[in-house]
Chains A and B, each alone.
Chain A
Amino acid sequence: MAAILLILLIVGGTAALSWPLGRYMRWAMDPLTLTGPAGRCDRWFRAVGGRLTHREQDWKQYCLSLLTFNVVTFTVSFAFLALQPWLPLNPDGRQEIEGSLIFNTVASFTTNTNLQHYSGEVSMSHLSQLCALMWQQFVSAATGIAALAAMARGLAGRATMGNFFVDLQRATFLVLLPLALVVAFLLVLGGVPMTLEGAARALTLEGAEQLIARGPVAAFVAIKQLGTNGGGFFGPNSTHPFENPGFFTNVVSTMAIIVIPMAAVWMFGRIVGRMRHATVLFAVMMALLLAKLGVALVWEAAPTQAFANLPIAQDVGNLEGKELRFGAAAGPVWAVMTTCTSNGSVNCMHDSLNPLTGLVPMVGMWLNATFGGVGVGLINMFIYIVLAVFVAGMMVGRTPEYLGRRVEVREVKLAVLAMFTHALLILGGTALFAASPWGAGTLNNTGAHGFSEILYEFSSAAANNGSGFEGLGDNTVPWNVATGLVMLLARFIPILLPLAIAGFLARKRATAPSVGTLGIDTVTFGVMLIATILFLGALTFFPAAALGPIAEHLQFMK
């Protein structure tokens, strides 16, 4: 009962909030007229950016600017982390960070993944957290939102896709920053610490010394959630009471995970001018989300198998790795939300989830399109849409077309390339590390669960998620380098390819709709889309799932 109420509150409440937010995002990212405040902001942004911002870009130029900017942010972050021992704002005296770890961390935050092979309160100074990491959380999220706006403009049939440098500032200053302030204030009121001081020393009641690490946590957590970043200030992420002190902050944090991805669907619908189609997309994503929530809640209610033969009263489900103050359902709910999007923060330890519950986050990352990351979620969904439209279009007896433009060889080529890349990065990486000591030697659990740890890590990197089965000893050079490369490829290839497709589609002659053309506003199309997503995702990863979570479930759970 409490679980249902929680889901209603979080999912229903966020869905309700996403509607006005979507309208606001449209105004912020793609204003119809440049009068009043929209005009003023536009002029500031173009002033800051300089000469290059006064030109509208086609898809090639947009992508080039996007990549250039990300190279710059990568370099700046790298500098901050490499010079950590010599920079100010380091009250706890953090030292050097190892080279491959810096590479991995910077790649991770640049790509909105926030995979953390380090523990924040152990390795990072306050300055590093703020300027290398939190800053990236803003701009990487903004990159995703900008890319979505560009793709939407292309699909709307416009000749140009906008200007990346303007879009980036719009996303950062008009969308992310105000929302982050609101969420940060709520978190502060909820008890999350916010200070620049170093650790506090405490003498416990039993006479031991407890060093209490703290810092500018509220600010960090707010943007961590909103930008589907996921990297926590502390190692254990939002299970840490400082990041997530109570029920109220948990609700706020969970809603913050998914509010912008949901709103992005409405923003897309408004820019393209097809709100009914956007509703179908929203419904498809929501259906998959609710299905995953159902499965996760059911399976997590099973007790901890390891304690089965011990005198332990287990009527509240599996509590290992969970926090009590959020309520029983909160762990699985967050786990599903965080992997539906590309967030990756956790409020319970995924490595300790029951086997089939642990499969649900993996599925979320394999599909990577049910709401998905800010901006990039819908961009990934677009790949599925292209393929669904292609097959469904043929089934109604016409050359396939989407939003009035024909889907032909080139578009199909680019779409399947994106799908193949995703599969290659996950399955290839897992195969490499499972069969070699690089992976097999770093496991925290044996047997099928160990396989799941490796599979999860690559899935997380390839989906730009960032959560993990944290028992994995992943701060090794092979893991750092491999996942770093995977994250970079998995971030930019699935942004470039859909933008290219949208660019090519925009150049084609528009065909008029009729009762004979495939309707993308219908329930039937929604069903076709879900089927495409499930088939392409499930069929590709089913064997891996069978050898990991499913095997463990069948082996141990009675």
Chain B
Amino acid sequence: MTRKPASLFAAELVRPAIADAFRKLHPRVMAKNPVMFVTLVGAVLTTAGIFTAGADWAFVLQLALWLWFTVLFANFAEAMAEGRGKAQANALRSARSETFARRLRDDGSEERVAATGLTKGDRVVVEAGQTIPADGDVIEGIASVDESAITGESAPVIRESGGDRCAVSGGTRVLSDRIVVQITMERGQGFLDRMIAMVEGARRQKTPNEVALTVLLAALTLIFLLVCVTLRPFGTFAGAEFSTPVLIALLVCLIPTTIGALLSAIGISGIDRLIQRNVMATSGRAVEAAGDVDVLLLDKTGTITLGNRMATAFVPAPGVSEEQLADTAQLASLADQTPEGRSIVVLAKQRFRLRGRDVAEPHATFVPFSAQSRMSGVDFGAPAAPVRCIRKGAAEAIAGFVAALGGRPDPQVLAAADSVSRSGGTPLVVADGGRMLGVVHLKDVVKGGIQQRFAHLRAVGIRTVMITGDNPLTAAAIAAEAGVDSFLAQATPEMKLQRIRDEQAQGRLVAMTGDGTNDAPALAQADVGVAMNTGTQAAREAGNMVDLDSNPTKLLDIVEIGKQLIMTRGSLTTFSMANDVAKYFAILPAMFAGVHATGAGPGPLAGLDVMDLHSPQSAILSAVVFNALIIIALIPLALRGVAYRPASAAVVLRRNLLLYGVGGVVAPFVGIKILDVLLTVLHLV
């Protein structure tokens, strides 16, 4: 689910942004941006220059005005980017502060405390209609929760103790039943707090790439400052005098004000675009890393295939009736929390009208499914010495189980399991004691449109790896159907972690999604770890992003946004530098008009005026106005990001060089000329 972004220049965003633009003029705020700080100083100096300008005061006044506009436009851009998230943050903040909690004391009694007074380890009770006060894990009970405050999705979700769906966030509302939540977050460090901080951009740290780019921009500013400062003595030699306002105008036009103004807006809007896709990044660094990813590790279930495998058929062994197989399979699956197990129960009920037995049957121990054993089932009788053991699970696991009880693995059952695998399904072999009863055929369905997405990824050089607990045959069939580059079959969490390490050792960056606690080490090891919101708190802590929609294919969007962010920076930097050519051709002939002039006419350097501008003053002013207006014109581009079409680096570079390099050289020639005509017609110079 994507939040609807407010239209780019909606009134309720623009007005506060304008106010903010003025508020950001404080030197300490401006000093963070070297390019705009120099512009600010220039604006101040030029304003002072109005009073010593004599006859040119109208011209210097307009220069000063437009320099102030340049600074304000830059602040406006940043404020616009921040504003889009602020509205959200305010709503979130109000949701949080009013909440009270019912804390459980050790003796079981309750006490009422403010939500902000909770600490890690506290246990609180939340009942239907009440708001969960802080982030934590459900340790008792099961409830349906409205998470719309965070996800924007009003359809309720189930949260229950045990398993992978126990994490809840502060600010969400319980709709039914009663749960006990153990608080897992430090005060003020909750999910909501971090989201607010991220979205407001107030405590935003510059990411490494941004810092490097700022260094480059600062250096360019210094170089152009050098160029402009040395022009004075050059003029002295040539017997000409260059006034300070004109030198400042030249300086401001040369320094990369376009990218300098839009840089922070680009960064903030990148995070914002992630939030629109319902992804919480805990740092801008993670977003950049997403753009660099080389390998995606994707879980088969839910990402590549449609969520749950469904039981579709019972394949009994010779001499066993289908009903008997169904009955046994159902028994073995009653305590199985996995969707597969539940689908077996459902199928058995559907086919043979077998109802679920009472779970609390005496002398029945349920053996739940685990990733290690890859089986689940029921033991009847005393736990230490059961009289009847029913198991269902992977063929090898059941074969081993049967052999351990002295039985013989039935080759026909195994053959049936094989044929199920080869057809792309997952076989679950059912055994009663030492006897194999048959195979349950689980079917996986590959999500539609997944092949195209993988093809896109391949085009930009990202490889996909499918992780699955299936056996290699099944995995191969699904991998071929889905179009992944490789797969890891019968994967355990340790294998996942090792695969990540191997790829990293070869110099690749790895991204993965995960939700269970057993995913935490892999999520932490991966360069980009996206945790599902429905997952455990441990997973959410380990990853550096959280997907509120718990949609594993979101990873593909995240990569795209990461790349787009960096691409926008690069393209606008190129554009900014390319602009300088035209500005030189506008300002230098104007400045040098009097140099080496003989008689009344303009000096020889007026010959550089290729745009045939009206007068020196109109030329300089046009350039300054263009320099300011281009910032506004490019705000939408900065906020939306440059158009991203997946293609190889060579194609992308060519395209962006043409668009922003050549375009950046040509555009200001046209723009300055038009402005020059306008200014002349309006008699402003």
Direct A–B contact in the complex, CB atoms closer than 8 angstroms:
yes
A428 touching B564 in the complex, CB below 8 Å, given contacts A398-B291, A451-B238: no
A392 at the interface (CB under 8 A from B): yes
Contact residue among B213, B605, B654 (Cβ-Cβ distance under 8 Å from A550) = B605
Which of B576-626 touch A at CB < 8 Å?
Answer: 577-578, 580-581, 584, 588, 592, 595-596, 603-605, 607-608
Which of B79-87, B102-110, B502-510, B542-550 lies at the interface?
B502-510
Contact B238–A515 (Cβ < 8 Å): no
Contact A451–B604 (Cβ < 8 Å): no
| Interface size class of chain A, counting residues whose CB lies under 8 Å from the partner chain | 35 or more
A390 at the interface (CB under 8 A from B): yes
Contact A525–B227 (Cβ < 8 Å): no
Residues of B within 8 A of A432 (CB): 233
A430 at the interface (CB under 8 A from B): yes
Residues of A within 8 A of B212 (CB): 390, 407-409, 412
Contact B507–A509 (Cβ < 8 Å): yes
Contact A431–B230 (Cβ < 8 Å): yes
Residues of B within 8 A of A308 (CB): none
Please, which residue of chain A has its CB at the minimum distance from the CB of B648? A515
Report B216 CB to chain A, min CB distance, Å: 5
Which of B206-257 touch A at CB < 8 Å?
Answer: 208-209, 211-213, 215-216, 219-220, 222-224, 226-227, 229-234, 236-238, 254
A283 at the interface (CB under 8 A from B): no
Please, which residue of chain B has its CB at the minimum distance from the CB of A401? B292
Contact A512–B294 (Cβ < 8 Å): yes
- Taken residue by residue from 28 to 58, chain A's Cβ proximity to chain B (1 for < 8 Å, 0 otherwise) reads as 0000000000000000000000000000000
A555 at the interface (CB under 8 A from B): yes
Contact A397–B291 (Cβ < 8 Å): yes
Contact residue among B226, B563, B650 (Cβ-Cβ distance under 8 Å from A428) = B226
A511 at the interface (CB under 8 A from B): yes
Contact residue among A392, A424, A528 (Cβ-Cβ distance under 8 Å from B226) = A424
How distant is the Cα of A448 from the Cα of B660 in the complex, in angstroms? Answer: 36
Please, which residue of chain B has its CB at the minimum distance from the CB of A418? B219
A542 touching B604 in the complex, CB below 8 Å, given contacts A435-B236, A547-B234, A547-B592: no
B313 at the interface (CB under 8 A from A): no
B288 at the interface (CB under 8 A from A): yes
B649 at the interface (CB under 8 A from A): yes
B653 at the interface (CB under 8 A from A): yes
B657 at the interface (CB under 8 A from A): yes
Contact A555–B234 (Cβ < 8 Å): no
- Taken residue by residue from 447 to 467, chain B's Cβ proximity to chain A (1 for < 8 Å, 0 otherwise) reads as 000000000000111110000
Which of B36-44, B131-139, B565-573 lies at the interface?
B565-573
How distant is the Cα of A554 from the Cα of B609 in the complex, in angstroms? Answer: 12
How distant is the Cα of A407 from the Cα of B213 in the complex, in angstroms? Answer: 11
Number of interface residues of B (CB under 8 A): 72
A427 touching B227 in the complex, CB below 8 Å, given contacts A395-B657, A539-B254, A543-B234: yes
Residues of A within 8 A of B649 (CB): 396, 398, 515-519
Residues of B within 8 A of A309 (CB): none
Report B510 CB to chain A, min CB distance, Å: 11
How distant is the Cα of A450 from the Cα of B223 in the complex, in angstroms? Answer: 25
Contact A525–B653 (Cβ < 8 Å): yes
Report A278 CB to chain B, min CB distance, Å: 19
Please, which residue of chain A has its CB at the minimum distance from the CB of B559? A397
How distant is the Cα of A448 from the Cα of B288 in the complex, in angstroms? Answer: 50
A413 at the interface (CB under 8 A from B): yes
Report A487 CB to chain B, min CB distance, Å: 19
Residues of A within 8 A of B570 (CB): 391-397
How distant is the Cα of A200 from the Cα of B407 in the complex, in angstroms? Answer: 116
A134 at the interface (CB under 8 A from B): no
A514 touching B227 in the complex, CB below 8 Å, given contacts A397-B564, A535-B578: no
How distant is the Cα of A451 from the Cα of B595 in the complex, in angstroms? Answer: 12
Q: Quick one: which of B223, B563, B569 has the most chain A CB within 10 A? A: B223
Contact B653–A435 (Cβ < 8 Å): no
Residues of A within 8 A of B238 (CB): 447-448, 451, 547, 551
Residues of A within 8 A of B569 (CB): 394
Report B321 CB to chain A, min CB distance, Å: 55
Residues of B within 8 A of A391 (CB): 570, 573-574
Contact B567–A394 (Cβ < 8 Å): yes
How distant is the Cα of A516 from the Cα of B462 in the complex, in angstroms? Answer: 8
Contact residue among A387, A409, A535 (Cβ-Cβ distance under 8 Å from B208) = A409
Contact B230–A399 (Cβ < 8 Å): no
Please, which residue of chain A has its CB at the minimum distance from the CB of B564? A397
A419 touching B219 in the complex, CB below 8 Å, given contacts A395-B656, A399-B292, A546-B608: yes
Contact A434–B234 (Cβ < 8 Å): yes
Contact B227–A423 (Cβ < 8 Å): yes
A531 at the interface (CB under 8 A from B): yes
Report A210 CB to chain B, min CB distance, Å: 40
Which of A397-422 touch B at CB < 8 Å?
Answer: 397-400, 404, 407-409, 412-413, 416-417, 419-420
Report B234 CB to chain A, min CB distance, Å: 5
How distant is the Cα of A430 from the Cα of B226 in the complex, in angstroms? Answer: 12
Residues of A within 8 A of B592 (CB): 546-547, 551
How distant is the Cα of A29 from the Cα of B459 in the complex, in angstroms? Answer: 41
Contact A394–B596 (Cβ < 8 Å): no
Residues of A within 8 A of B463 (CB): 514
Contact A420–B588 (Cβ < 8 Å): no
Which of B507-557 touch A at CB < 8 Å?
Answer: 507-509
Contact B223–A420 (Cβ < 8 Å): yes
B260 at the interface (CB under 8 A from A): no
Please, which residue of chain B has its CB at the minimum distance from the CB of A428? B230
Please, which residue of chain A has its CB at the minimum distance from the CB of B584? A542
Report A177 CB to chain B, min CB distance, Å: 40
Contact A515–B227 (Cβ < 8 Å): no
- Taken residue by residue from 506 to 536, chain A's Cβ proximity to chain B (1 for < 8 Å, 0 otherwise) reads as 0001111011111100101101100100010
Please, which residue of chain B has its CB at the minimum distance from the CB of A399? B292
How distant is the Cα of A475 from the Cα of B571 in the complex, in angstroms? Answer: 49
Contact B573–A435 (Cβ < 8 Å): no
Which of B410-426 touch A at CB < 8 Å?
Answer: none
Contact A399–B226 (Cβ < 8 Å): no
Contact A551–B577 (Cβ < 8 Å): no
A6 at the interface (CB under 8 A from B): no
Residues of B within 8 A of A447 (CB): 238, 596
Residues of A within 8 A of B652 (CB): 395-397
Q: Quick one: which of B212, B226, B509, B654 has the most chain A CB within 10 A? A: B212
Q: Quick one: which of B233, B459, B603, B605 has the most chain A CB within 10 A? A: B233
Contact A543–B227 (Cβ < 8 Å): yes
Please, which residue of chain B has its CB at the minimum distance from the CB of A398? B292
How distant is the Cα of A428 from the Cα of B462 in the complex, in angstroms? Answer: 49
Residues of A within 8 A of B574 (CB): 391, 395
Residues of A within 8 A of B563 (CB): 397-398
Residues of B within 8 A of A518 (CB): 649, 653
Residues of B within 8 A of A482 (CB): none
B267 at the interface (CB under 8 A from A): no
Contact B215–A524 (Cβ < 8 Å): no
B644 at the interface (CB under 8 A from A): yes
Report B511 CB to chain A, min CB distance, Å: 13
Contact residue among A413, A430, A527, A535 (Cβ-Cβ distance under 8 Å from B230) = A430
Please, which residue of chain B has its CB at the minimum distance from the CB of A392? B653
B284 at the interface (CB under 8 A from A): no
Residues of A within 8 A of B608 (CB): 546, 550, 554
Contact B657–A551 (Cβ < 8 Å): no
Report A23 CB to chain B, min CB distance, Å: 29
Report A276 CB to chain B, min CB distance, Å: 13
A295 at the interface (CB under 8 A from B): no
Beyond A431-B230, A511-B294: 16 further Cβ-contacts under 8 Å? A394-B567, A399-B292, A412-B212, A427-B227, A435-B236, A448-B596, A509-B507, A511-B507, A515-B649, A517-B649, A522-B650, A540-B227, A543-B227, A550-B608, A551-B238, A551-B603
Pairs A-B, 5 closest by C-beta atoms: A394-B570, A516-B461, A416-B219, A397-B563, A435-B233
Please list 17 pairs of residues, one from A and one from B, whose beta carbons are closer than 8 Å in the complex, sorted by A's number: A394-B209, A397-B570, A398-B292, A398-B566, A408-B208, A412-B213, A419-B219, A423-B227, A431-B229, A435-B234, A440-B237, A516-B462, A527-B657, A535-B577, A539-B224, A543-B588, A546-B592
